[in-house]
Structure 1
Amino acid sequence: MPAFTAQQVPQHPGQPQPTAHQPQPTGHQPHYPFDSSRPPKKKRSRFEKNFTVLLTVLLGLASIVTAWASFQASLYDGEMAEANTRAGVLAAEAESLYLEANAQLITDASLLNRIAELSVQMDYGDYDTSVIASATLDLLMYQSATEAFAAAIIWSDEQNSASPGTYTHPQTSPDYLAALYTPYTEKKAQAEAAAAEAAEYNDWGDQLTLATVMLAICLFLYGIAAVLRALPTRIVLTGIATVVMLVASGLSLAVVATAS
């Protein structure tokens, strides 16, 4: 077979002919270790490395404080629900005691009218009528009159004897009214105290929820600072996030200390 030189190698149709200034294709392309058109990557300074470590630590602290504040808020929400339930039960009991006191007041008023009738029969009736009225009165006082009501009748008689021109009703006695309505007022005070306690827990839970929202903003800012390349921007975002985290942490600690 005839030997061909580099200048005599037959070319395929349509393939450009090499010139004297154009190197011949050899089938092996040169390998460049890097793209000379791109500038080499700048090495991070020691300060930037330390700042990245600090940012990571702050991000971890913010995550811990966020979880703790959220947990405390859930605890206070539970305490608020329990106090509200207790307040509702106490309010229902207080209402029942109030109705019971009113019923006793009406019963004593009817009994007082019956006592007045029997007293008239004793004073102005014949002998037999007077004896029967006296026995009936003693039985009514024994069976139906409470201790507080009997004391109120005695108090009323004393007041009427001291001031004959002014009638004093037995059921206006302060001791009698206190005996009737003191259980109601005490139970109502307990219900109001439980409702106030629930309101306090609700307020503390709201403050901790606010602190949790602020800490969530910190996490967002720390996350943005972690992915940015511009160091000044990272420093500014980290500073803002740290200030917000300190405020939120202080608020959470103050609420827990107050509640404790």
Structure 2
Amino acid sequence: MPEGSSHGTHSPDVRDIVAVVLLSAMAVLTAWCGFQASKWGGEMSIAFSQASSARVQATNFDGQARDQRQFDLTVYASWVEAKAAGEDELAAFIEERFQPDFRVAFDAWQAQGADEGGPFVQDEYVPTGTTEAAEYSARADEKFAEALESNQRGDNYSLLTVLFALVLFLTAMSQRNIAAWASRVFLGLAMIVGLVGIVILLTFPIKI
């Protein structure tokens, strides 16, 4: 057989091998991207659930603090009325009924000369539930941000799935009964797109 014929039969075999390897690799990577997209989707759902739960807790504690403030306002109003009426014994009796959180602020207000601002504007006044409400609200915001980030990561993997599907398409086109130069072009494009996809894939976080 002439030497030229030998080269003519060898080249398609090499392209076939490259195409098979490329198809196999892209199939695995496509499955991997689908798996990762699913995992990050699960993480998104969990984070959204945790954010919702934390938001409910924050609302509950905020309601507790609001009720505490309302109670303190009512008792304080009674104390003011007793003091204004000169009923010191009644005022002292009411003071004994102050809640601990309000008592701290009331004492601080008294130590500063009992100015017109009142005990409720004191930094020491922190009704029960205020701190917890702030903590749970911050946790809800954090988990919501995590959910959005996980959602974006899942979308990124889904986009890579489309990219690798394009590689499969180009590789399949290179195997069609077309001109040799067209086959090489399709296969070359498939290799370039696949390499770009792999490089991008290496930058993505992995969830097992």
Tell me the TM-score normalised to structure 2 length. Answer: 0.88
Matches within 5 A, 1:199-210: 199-210=148-159
Partner residue of 2:93? 136
* Partners of 2:140 and 2:39 in 1: CA distance: 22
In 1, the alpha carbon distance for the partners of 2:205 and 2:96 equals 63
Tell me, yes or no, if the aligned pair for 2:102 and 2:125 is still in contact at 8 Å: yes
In percent, how many aligned pairs have the same letter? 26
Residue 104 of structure 1: aligned partner: 68
Q: Aligned partners of 1:214 and 1:229: how far apart in 2?
A: 24
On the 8 A contact 2:65/2:128 being kept in 1, the answer is no
Q: Tell me what 1:197 maps to.
A: 146
In 1, the alpha carbon distance for the partners of 2:68 and 2:91 equals 24
**Unmatched 5+ stretches in structure 2:** none
Distance 1:68 1:172 in 2: 58
Output aligned runs, 1:43-62, within 5 Å. Answer: 45-62=9-26
Contact 2:47 2:144 in 1 (8 A): yes
Tell me if structure 1 keeps the 8 A contact 2:79–2:94.
yes
Shift of 1:206: 0.9
> Which runs of structure 2 are paired with 1:1-260 in the superposition (5 Å)?
45-120=9-84, 124-125=86-87, 131=89, 133=90, 136-137=93-94, 139-140=96-97, 145-160=98-113, 166-177=115-126, 180-256=129-205
State the SS of the aligned residue for 1:71.
helix
Give the CA RMSD over aligned residues. Answer: 2.2
What CA distance in whole angstroms lies between the structure 2 residues aligned with 1:82 and 1:180? 26
Q: Which ranges in structure 1 are unaligned for 5 or more consecutive residues?
A: 1-41
Rounded to whole Å, the distance in 2 between the matches of 1:146 and 1:253 is: 59
Contact in 1 for aligned 2:58/2:136 (Cα 8 Å) = yes
- Between the aligned partners of 2:92 and 2:111, the Cα distance in structure 1 is 23
Partners in 2 of 1:135 and 1:148 — Cα distance?
17
One-letter amino acid of the counterpart of residue 146, structure 2: E
Letter in 2 for 1:55: A
**CA drift at 1:53:** 1.1
Structure-1-length-normalised TM-score:
0.71
Whether contact under 8 Å (2:68, 2:128) holds in the other structure is no
Whole-Å separation in 2 of the counterparts to 1:93 and 1:52: 61
Alpha-carbon contact 2:69-2:127 (below 8 Å) kept: no
Runs of 4+ in 1 over 6 A off after TM superposition: none
Higher relative contact order (CA 8 A, sep 6+): 2
Count the aligned residue pairs: 203
